[in-house]
């Protein structure tokens, strides 16, 4: 939590401050998954008002074990040319998706060797 809060303070981004606050509130109320769910709600609401990385949203769904949602957001990230797609194979937050054949197909489609 400290790292998320520090990042939000240093970035001075209202979106990051909202995210860090929601993550912390959710975590204290019900643990890591509750924190991720609450923070995810904030990111989804922010996306309606402006830009929020679909790749980042996909990582939260992967962390929650919601593969279908994670792949939908990765597809959105692909179509929006989200720069974070370059970390598709190396981002540990997506490890739960590696055993799914759709992951290999997406890696191929993105063109990552």
**C-alpha distances in angstroms, 59 versus 53, 72, 82, 92?**
10, 11, 13, 9
Kindly report the backbone phi and psi dihedral angles of residue 79, in degrees, each rounded to the nearest multiple of 5, phi listed first: -70, -30
Q: Which two tokens stand for residue 20?
A: 């860090």
- What DSSP character marks residue 50? S
Together in a domain, 109 and 58: yes
pLDDT digit string, tens, across residues 82-96? 999 999 999 999 999
Same domain? 78 vs 44: no
To 10 degrees, what angle do helices 32-49 and 54-63 make? 160
The verdict on 111 and 80 lying in the same domain is: yes
pTM of the predicted protein model:
0.89
40, 84: one domain: no
For 68, the domain range is 54-113
65-81 residue pLDDT tens: 999 999 999 999 999 99
Identify whether residues 32 and 78 lie together within a single domain: no
Whether 35 and 62 share a structural domain: no
Structurally, how many domains does the chain consist of?
2
19 and 43 belong to one structural domain: yes
Length of the chain: 113
């Amino acid at each position: 939590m400290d790292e998320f809060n520090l990042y939000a303070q240093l970035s001075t981004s209202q979106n990051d401050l909202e995210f860090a606050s929601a993550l912390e509130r959710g975590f204290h109320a019900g643990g890591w998954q509750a924190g991720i769910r609450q923070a995810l709600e904030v990111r989804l609401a922010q996306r309606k008002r402006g830009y929020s990385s679909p790749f980042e949203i996909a990582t939260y769904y992967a962390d929650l074990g919601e593969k279908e949602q994670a792949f939908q957001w990765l597809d959105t990230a692909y179509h929006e040319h989200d720069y974070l797609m370059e970390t598709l194979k190396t981002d540990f937050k997506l490890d739960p998706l590696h055993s799914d054949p759709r992951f290999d197909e997406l890696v191929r489609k993105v063109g990552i060797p």
